[in-house]
Amino acid sequence: MAAALRVVAAGARLSVVASGLRAAIRSLCSQPVSVDERIENKRRAALLGGGQRRIDAQHQRGKLTARERISLLLDPGSFVESDMFVEHRCADFGMAADKNKFPGDSVVTGRGRINGRLVYIFSQDFTVFGGSLSGAHAQKICKIMDQAITVGAPVIGLNDSGGARIQEGVESLAGYADIFLDTSYLFITGPDVVKSVTNEDVTQEELGGAKTHTTMSGVAHRAFENDVDALCNLREFFNYLPLSSQDPAPVRECHDPSDRLVPELDTIVPLESTKAYDMLDIIHSVIDERDFFEIMPNYAKNLVIGFGRMNGRTVGIVGNQPKVASGCLDINSSVKGARFVRFCDAFNIPLITFVDVPGFLPGTAQEYGGIIRHGAKLLYAFAEATVPKVTVITRKAYGGAYDVMSSKHLLGDTNYAWPTAEIAVMGAKGAVEIIFKGHEDVAAAQREYIEKFANPFPAAVRGFVDDIIRPSSTRARICRDLDVLASKKVQRPWRKHANIPL
């Protein structure tokens, strides 16, 4: 308390001193160190965080310091720091000692710009008490968050902390958390606790490494090679997002003609309906400049999600991936998709859905795991979304999974079918086996079923698709639709919040 008072007093004195006389006055002062020098010293100390030795240790681990990360992420010279002088207030266990005080404490906060766009940022400093969360640390983060909300700018959190409590809160605010491959771990309880409670032997990497969280748990959305790669990609990713939920999806200068025809799509769907193809090929050739920022590329790979641009405007893309598990929907892909759809809807990002789905994955594992409950999340998310929704059925759209994939019935704005589309309750073989059980001429029945249902017409005559389009015209059609849908407004009756089936 006394220390704090002294700072205020010193500050007051400074304000009345004319700058030209400062040196003279300093020499007359009885204090051993002038206020200016103390300010300088504190700033210098803050810039060094936990000190050179700890910075070197951080580098040796292949990690950057909190400040280096900020400098790399933000436009050069744009960082404006706040709370550089904040120190922790803990007095127990000798923490009050000067050697345990670090100006700025274990987090660096402030604001800056990425490609000219405003962003608030906090970056935990592992060199100060392992980046652990103190009261002061939390207070600093809350301060910039409050400011960000008042001006309508986002917050980016760069986490590097031994303390686990902060993560949950941060993640919800930052929207997406990026963790770095090989140098990062994320878990609720560490390997030692796991061993003592469940008797499992597990390493940090296995329990909460980048690979675990990007391929198995779905906790992290992307993993990168290292800090530099991650931060460069974060700059790229940031450009896809609006600054706040009050802003429309950003439109960046685009060199790719919006009416570009894509002849390669006319042959992409194989003639045999059992043969797989890569949905990413379709996505890449439709969006601007083949530039696709995929989210969760290694988790539930039977559903592809990510951001792209159409005529410069950010869009969210959801597509079944026929290459993986035939593109069917299962628990993990449903949850992955649902989260993404809601993210896009929350931030006014139009949704483009490419459908080739043979159904929900059958089996006890899925049923016991609650596929109905989880599948409903994706259905709910699409139904609830009020952003422009354009859907393209490339091949299979079977059964309940067809409904779920941003169908007309979930209020898709524009729903297209390619000539190869088959919109039906199920595939011909399965259907015939049920309808004509024990029947003599199954082959003929199957042919009849294919003739009747394995094409886009039944859906088109009922208006479930708005048009049957040539695949090569897909990009031009979507760009045109998005221009029209830019002014889309949906009024929903007031409610406290929607009740997604969690």
Partner 1 sequence: MAGLRVGTAALVAAGRRLPRQLMRSAAPWALKTVPHYSKQRLTFSRSLGSVGYDPNEKTFDKILIANRGEIACRVIKTCKKMGIKTVAIHSDVDAGSVHVKMADEAVCVGPAPTSQSYLNMDAIMEAIKKTRAEAVHPGYGFLSENKEFARCLAAEDVTFIGPDTHAIQAMGDKIGSKLLAKEAKVNTIPGFDGVVKDADEAVRIAREIGYPVMIKASAGGGGKGMRIAWNDDETRDGFRFSSQEAASSFGDDRLLIEKFIDNPRHIEIQVLGDKHGNALWLNERECSIQRRNQKVVEEAPSIFLDPETRRVMGEQAVALARAVKYSSAGTVEFLVDSKKNFYFLEMNTRLQDPYKSFGLPSIGRLSQYQEPVHLPGVRVDSGIQPGSDISIYYDPMISKLITYGSDRNEALKRMEHALDNYVIRGVTHNIALLREVIINSRFVKGDISTKFLSDVYPDGFKGHTLTKTERSQLLAIASSLFVASQLRAQRFQEHSRVPVIKPDVSTWELSVRLNDEDHSVTASSSGSVFSVEVDGSKLNVTSTWNLASPLLSVSVDGSPRTVQCLSREAGGNMSIQFLGTVYKLRVLTKFAAELNKFMLEKVAEDTSSILRSPMPGVVVAVSVKPGDVVAEGQEICVIEAMKMQNSMAAGKTGKVKSVRCKAGDTVGEGDLLVELE
Question: Phi, psi at residue 130, to the nearest 5°?
Answer: 60, 30
Alpha carbon distances (Å) from 255 to 15, 115, 243, 259, 287:
54, 18, 23, 12, 12
Q: Which of 12, 232, 435, 500 binds partner 1 (CB under 8 A)?
A: 232
Nearest alpha-carbon partner for 219 in 230, 208, 229: 208
Q: Which of 10, 72, 95, 174 binds partner 1 (CB under 8 A)?
A: 72
Q: Does 217 bind partner 1 (CB under 8 A)?
A: no
Q: Which of 35, 46, 48, 64 binds partner 1 (CB under 8 A)?
A: 64
Cβ 312 to partner 1, closest distance in Å? 7
The alpha carbon torsion through 26, 29, 30, 32 (nearest 10 deg) reads -10
* Contacts with partner 1, 422-441, as mask; x by CB under 8 A: -----x-xx-----------
Q: Which of 32, 77, 438, 463 binds partner 1 (CB under 8 A)?
A: 77
Task: Note the helical H segments in 99-158.
Answer: 135-151
Cβ 239 to partner 1, closest distance in Å? 6
Cβ 367 to partner 1, closest distance in Å? 13
Q: Which of 15, 92, 275, 495 binds partner 1 (CB under 8 A)?
A: 275
Q: Does 496 bind partner 1 (CB under 8 A)?
A: no
Q: Which of 4, 12, 216, 365 binds partner 1 (CB under 8 A)?
A: 365
Q: Which of 38, 89, 117, 447 binds partner 1 (CB under 8 A)?
A: 117
Do strands 107-114 and 117-124 pair parallel, antiparallel, or not at all (unpaired)?
A: antiparallel
Cβ 56 to partner 1, closest distance in Å? 10
Q: Does 489 bind partner 1 (CB under 8 A)?
A: no
Residue number with CB closer to partner 1 (313 or 342) = 313
Q: Does 421 bind partner 1 (CB under 8 A)?
A: no
Contact (Cβ atoms closer than 8 angstroms) between residue 327 and residue 321 = yes
- 8-state DSSP, 157: E
Residue number with CB closer to partner 1 (236 or 403) = 236
Q: Does 442 bind partner 1 (CB under 8 A)?
A: no
Question: Phi, psi at residue 135, to the nearest 5°?
Answer: -60, -45
Cβ 232 to partner 1, closest distance in Å? 5
Nearest alpha-carbon partner for 75 in 129, 123, 111: 111
Q: Does 284 bind partner 1 (CB under 8 A)?
A: yes
Q: Which of 13, 37, 62, 425 binds partner 1 (CB under 8 A)?
A: 62
Q: Does 289 bind partner 1 (CB under 8 A)?
A: yes
Q: Tell me the C-alpha distance between 268 and 415, whole Å.
A: 19
- Mapping DSSP to helix (H, G, I), strand (E, B) and coil, where does residue 268 land? coil
Among 129-137, 320-328, 370-378, 445-453, which window interacts with partner 1 (CB under 8 A)?
320-328
Contact (Cβ atoms closer than 8 angstroms) between residue 106 and residue 129 = yes
Residue number with CB closer to partner 1 (76 or 463) = 76
Cβ 276 to partner 1, closest distance in Å? 7
Residue number with CB closer to partner 1 (486 or 500) = 486
Q: Which of 322, 350, 388, 456 binds partner 1 (CB under 8 A)?
A: 322
Strand ranges across the sheet with 80-82: 80-82, 107-114, 117-124, 155-158
The token pair that represents 394 in the structure block: 């490339």
Contact (Cβ atoms closer than 8 angstroms) between residue 81 and residue 141 = no
Q: Does 228 bind partner 1 (CB under 8 A)?
A: yes
Cβ 59 to partner 1, closest distance in Å? 4
Q: Which of 21, 188, 251, 346 binds partner 1 (CB under 8 A)?
A: 251
Residue number with CB closer to partner 1 (81 or 206) = 206
Question: Phi, psi at residue 308, to the nearest 5°?
Answer: -145, -170
Q: Tell me the C-alpha distance between 419 and 467, whole Å.
A: 10
Q: How many residues bind partner 1 (CB under 8 A)?
A: 80
Nearest alpha-carbon partner for 73 in 123, 32, 2: 123
The CB-side HSE value for 317 (13 A sphere, CA atoms) comes to 31
Among 58-66, 87-95, 185-193, 413-421, which window interacts with partner 1 (CB under 8 A)?
58-66
Q: Is the dihedral of CA 163, 297, 384, 500 positive or negative?
A: negative
3-state SS track over 331-381 = HHHHHHHHHHHHHHHHCCCCEEEEEEECCECCCHHHHHCCHHHHHHHHHHH
What are the E-state strand segments in 381-440?
Answer: 389-398, 414-417, 422-424
Q: Tell me the C-alpha distance between 440 and 388, whole Å.
A: 49
Q: Does 235 bind partner 1 (CB under 8 A)?
A: yes
Cβ 430 to partner 1, closest distance in Å? 7
Residue number with CB closer to partner 1 (288 or 466) = 288
Q: Does 151 bind partner 1 (CB under 8 A)?
A: yes
Q: Which of 8, 18, 271, 434 binds partner 1 (CB under 8 A)?
A: 271
Q: Which of 37, 146, 200, 264 binds partner 1 (CB under 8 A)?
A: 264
- Integer distance in angstroms from the first to the last C-alpha of the chain? 48
Q: Which of 11, 135, 162, 263 binds partner 1 (CB under 8 A)?
A: 263
Q: Does 449 bind partner 1 (CB under 8 A)?
A: no
Single-letter amino acid code for the residue at 168: E
Q: Does 116 bind partner 1 (CB under 8 A)?
A: yes
Q: Does 36 bind partner 1 (CB under 8 A)?
A: no
Furthest-apart CA pair in the chain: how many Å? 112
- 8-state DSSP, 360: B
